[in-house]
Amino acid sequence: MARTRCVLEMTCAFGCAVLAVLTLAVHDWIEVVFGVSPDRGSGLGEVAIVGTLLVLSLASAADVVRIRRMGRARA
């Protein structure tokens, strides 16, 4: 169970990191993919998305570290 959770958490962390880098590299991918501009071209939406994705990525990675340390402490 813990191994499956670690794999899911690391997949989430990796996916969030990739999307954050994509958003930094191609600022208007949201407008291209969805056909809307929620921030009306100001870029604030992209900054918020990058920040959120980075926080999610770091939180997921930290949770994996915590789970693995708990497993070692029990062994």
3-state secondary structure the chain: CHHHHHHHHHHHHHHHHHHHHHHHHCCCHHHHHHCCCCCCCCCHHHHHHHHHHHHHHHHHHHHHHHHHHHHHHHC
**Structure confidence at residue 74 as a pLDDT band (50, 70, 90):** low
**Top-confidence residue, 1 or 9:** 9
**In the prediction, which pLDDT does 1 show?**
64
Mean residue pLDDT of the chain comes to 81
**Top-confidence residue, 3 or 54:** 54
Where are the chain's structural domains?
2-74
Q: Does residue 2 carry a pLDDT above 60?
A: yes
Average pLDDT over residues 44-71: 85
